[in-house]
Amino acid sequence: MSRAVLSIGSNLGDPLENLRSVVDALGDRLVAVSGVYATAPWGGVEQQDFLNATLIVDDPELDCHGWLRLGQELEAAADRVREQRWGPRSLDVDVVDCDGLVSADPELTLPHPRAHERAFVLVPWLEIDPDATLTVKGARMPARELLGCLDATERDGVRRTDLLLVRP
């Protein structure tokens, strides 16, 4: 069995429906679903804001690479095109953490190499797991502490919306 933390984001097409498509596809694998957050784009590419959320998922049939493949399948179903690094996208599904494993595998680096620098990952993750931890430079650290190390403008740029991913 593997438990993973997935970060999902979208800013093309219908971003809310793109995020909901992930929740719908995961079904009973979902352990927790954060709220939806509006966030400024990361990486310096001019584009509209993203909708982001974090999910905790669990499935006895999937290992960490299985979560990666499933995320890629969900991206493909949302017509994800990889044209520009940090550019706009219909759907982004990142495996942030999987069973606390650390891996330098170029196909799936764990934990996600920049998760500790991204408030749009940490804020929604802490909403659904206040005790979340992440390995950074070989040390397991509280996500709350990592968030506190980020610039205030980065943290303040993650704004909770009233949108819901789980359909009423």
The set of catalytic residues is 80, 89, 92, 94
DSSP letter assigned to residue 108: S
Other Cβ atoms less than 10 A from the Cβ of 166: the count is 9
Q: From residue 123, how far is each of 51, 88, 108, 156 by CA, in Å?
A: 13, 21, 23, 10
DSSP bridge partners of 8: 53, 93
Total count of residues recorded for the chain: 168
